A and B are shown apart, each in its own frame.
Chain A
Amino acid sequence: MDFSFSSDQQLLKNSARGFLDEHVKPATVRLLWDDPRGESDTLWKEIAQLGWLGLSLPEAHGGSGLGMVETALLLEEMGRAAYPGPYWPTVLAATAIELAGAEAQKKRWLPAVATGDARATIAFLDTELDWRPEAAQTRAEKTGKGWTLAGRKRFVPWAHVADVLLVPAQTPDGLTLFLVDPRAAGLALEPVPVMDLATRLVDVTLDRAPVAADALLGGPGQAGPLLAALLRRGAVGAAAEMLGAARRCLDMAVGYAKVREQFGQPIGSFQAIRHKCAEMLLEAENSHSAVYYAAWALDAKAEDAELAASVAKAYVGDAARKVCGEAIQVHGGIGFTWEYDLHLYFKRAKALESMYGDGDYHREAILRRVAA
């Protein structure tokens, strides 16, 4: 039993920290706020070259075949940098294609994702904002040549830069997953204005959008368990990113408490501030345990992997919100300003809290498992 990172994992974490410190500074994040795409193609190509995009994809399709623990390490560092871009939606969508795709679909998309030539995303939510996969409202109807999709997908991360959308829809056979070209006829994309300017969410309206017969990902009616698995994986990744945001806020709060003086003393010498920082560290450490336990459990296919994913998302969502918020409190007025960088991480944590199943969804999922 070993809960510590291997030397390779530690090396990956360190190199990610080094790269992001240099290439994704707070100033970089701020520059992209006004960019219509909200991300940088240069940065995307660089992280592809570092092997991050193919990290968890199979070697046969241009990836490195590593696991969720390594992916979580990267995502933690990305959260720490408030990285702007479609990394996690793309990797998660690629995982879906790897798990359920036909050989031709894998060949078309996986190497392109690994080389940074394709972006992808999954449209989990419909208008009722119900995270249960079976609650999807979008409908697919069979036509002579293929299918038409009708419905409205809400809050789809980074759909406006994606080369392919994964769209769950109800068919007479049950829930089915479709690969959809976001630029195809019948699709309208509308960005949603949200408070984290470095997280882009898009509403996608499908007005009897035609989709080819070979655009099914997996068999008809087979998408339910796959989507549930993707949601859990997505939740663990989001938890890792929230952990990173919380760590950054904790570091900033502790650093500030050491140098900011009031009443002739550094404020960190006052118990009111020191105890707050200790509680923040407790939440960050518990979040670390939750994230990496869940990531390991996915990799190891442990029997409690599904439970652990929900535990991580529910716990870290609460913990990261608390840690980032308390960091603002420790800073006082300066922490509430637009110029100071704390809100980058505070908003990122909050944005992820409601994605891939919010706290209520995962708490209910936990209870269904343990109180049958």
Chain B
Amino acid sequence: MDLNPTAEDRAFRTEVRRWLERNVPTSDAKTLDERKAWHRKLYEAGYVGMLWPKEYGGWGRTPMQQAIVQDEMARLGAPPPINGLGIGFIGPTIIVHGTDWQKQRYLKKMLTAEEIWCQLYSEPNAGSDLASLKTRAEDQGDHFLVNGQKIWTSSGPIADWGILLARTDGKAAKHKGISCVLLHMRQPGVEVRPLRQITGSSLFSEVFMTNARAEKRDLIGNLNQGWEIAQTTLGWERGANSLGRVTRYAVAFNQLVRATKELRRGGKPLLEDAAVRARLGKAYAELEVQRYAALRVLSALQNSDSPGAASSITKLSYTEFEKRYFELALEILGPYGQLVSAREEFEDIDTSSGEPGTWATAFLWSRAGTIYSGSSEIQKNIIGERVLGLPKEVRADRLKA
């Protein structure tokens, strides 16, 4: 056990901090073009696609170094890069399962955000039970004809390409008739309708596919291998992400403490209230434990033990913590916690969503983490079955199969 950063990592952190201090934009990047420009700058500095192999335009860095970049960006409140799904999940899927042609065609433009990617997985009736998806891709010789509907598609309105899970064999068992194919989003058969979230913004959408066309050369892996592919490449970057998240929580904690010095109850600052102090102390203990856990995951990645199903524990831990944390913040702030435009004593906080916001926005966003990328309930099923070895549940769909 040695939790000291290596000399190399320390030097890297200094280098990253210097670069960010010089380059972080002073005003918020508002338009897509501005966000793409910032993304490209980050990429050229070597801070995007850090875990990707060099031969595909990546930087061949370590998970720890990527965590350092995210940590330093969180510290400075730097806007995140875009195309996160592409770089975190879809690109790695293509690297692992794709053809040489696919790699040549798609990877570099994904890294530079020249093309934005989305993930076409969930459907109105296939959420946690993703394998029951109904969108069909029919073999038309040189291409597939795609019909169906997807939902909760992040970046849908700005996406150029999507990675699609669709049924290619209606007769096979439900996990065995699904294929994975890349779909061009800018075509007449694809209609994107933004969905408004409880935050008021529209970062995800519905996608309707009516006789849309997906090329055969864009099939990932073999026909009907889609479920397996979706399972093996989820979570390339999950472990490395958690350190930066914890730093964002810590930045928010400092702002919360500042607010409790301003707000008064019974003639003295809230920070001197024993009940408030006890709860803040408990929250900070939990926050620190999330940080230690993040270091532990990074260490496991560094030792190249793949965290596997254990990454479910990490995801479950920080997303559930985030809910409790912002619930507490809003309780302490009282009516001020509901403000949707920031006042000086409640400065903008990083809501971890990519949209700048207030405590209220962070509180609302915290409800998302325990739903996306496998809900908490699904994570607990995975932990129970694959980590603890508890017996599988009796399920109607398994009885049929």
- Give residues in A with beta carbon < 8 Å to B: 1-6, 9, 69, 254, 257-258, 265-266, 268-271, 273-275, 277-279, 281-282, 285-286, 288-290, 292-293, 296-297, 300, 302, 307-308, 310-311, 314-315, 359-360, 362-367, 370-371
Main secondary structure of the interface of A (DSSP, over half): helix
Q: How far is the CA of A59 from the CA of B317 in the complex (A)?
A: 42
The reply to whether A289 and B289 form a contact with Cβ atoms under 8 Å apart is: yes
Known: A3-B1, A277-B384. A268 touches B390 (CB 8 A): yes
The reply to whether B3 and A300 form a contact with Cβ atoms under 8 Å apart is: yes
Could you give 14 example pairs across A and B, Cβ below 8 Å?
Answer: A1-B4, A2-B2, A69-B1, A254-B388, A268-B384, A275-B380, A282-B313, A285-B310, A293-B3, A296-B1, A363-B281, A363-B282, A367-B280, A367-B284
What are the residues of chain B within 8 A of A275 when measuring CB–CB?
377, 380-381, 384
The reply to whether B389 and A2 form a contact with Cβ atoms under 8 Å apart is: no
Interface status of B316 (Cβ within 8 A of chain A)? yes
Q: How far is the CA of A136 from the CA of B281 in the complex (A)?
A: 24
What are the residues of chain B within 8 A of A362 when measuring CB–CB?
281, 285
What are the residues of chain A within 8 A of B271 when measuring CB–CB?
371
What 5 A-B pairs are tightest by C-beta distance, nearest first?
A363-B281, A274-B384, A3-B299, A268-B390, A278-B380
Task: Closest B residue to A292 by CB, please name it.
Answer: B1
Interface status of B394 (Cβ within 8 A of chain A)? yes
What are the residues of chain B within 8 A of A308 when measuring CB–CB?
288, 292
Task: Closest A residue to B294 by CB, please name it.
Answer: A289
Q: How far is the CA of A302 from the CA of B295 in the complex (A)?
A: 15
What is the size category of the interface that chain B forms with chain A? 35 or more
Known: A274-B380, A278-B384, A300-B3. A3 touches B295 (CB 8 A): yes
Q: How far is the CA of A30 from the CA of B28 in the complex (A)?
A: 66
Task: Closest A residue to B392 by CB, please name it.
Answer: A269
- In the complex, besides A254-B389, A281-B388, 4 extra interface pairs with C-beta distance below 8 angstroms are A271-B393, A274-B381, A278-B381, A311-B285
For residues 378 through 398 of chain B, which have their beta carbon under 8 Å from a beta carbon of chain A? Answer: 379-381, 383-385, 387-394
The reply to whether B5 and A282 form a contact with Cβ atoms under 8 Å apart is: no
The reply to whether A277 and B289 form a contact with Cβ atoms under 8 Å apart is: no
What are the residues of chain A within 8 A of B299 when measuring CB–CB?
1-4
The reply to whether B285 and A314 form a contact with Cβ atoms under 8 Å apart is: yes
Q: Which of A282, A302, A310 has the most CB of B within 10 A?
A: A282
Task: Closest A residue to B312 by CB, please name it.
Answer: A278
Q: Which of A277, A366, A371 has the most CB of B within 10 A?
A: A371
What are the residues of chain A within 8 A of B313 when measuring CB–CB?
281-282, 285
Q: How far is the CA of A339 from the CA of B174 in the complex (A)?
A: 48
Interface string of B277-299 (1 = CB under 8 A from A): 11011101110111011011011
CB distance from A16 to the nearest CB of B (A): 17
CB distance from A268 to the nearest CB of B (A): 4
What are the residues of chain A within 8 A of B64 when measuring CB–CB?
1
Q: Which of B6, B285, B380 has the most CB of A within 10 A?
A: B285
Q: Which of B1, B271, B277, B278 has the most CB of A within 10 A?
A: B1
The reply to whether B3 and A3 form a contact with Cβ atoms under 8 Å apart is: yes
The one of A9, A254, A310 that contacts B1, using a Cβ cutoff of 8 Å: A9
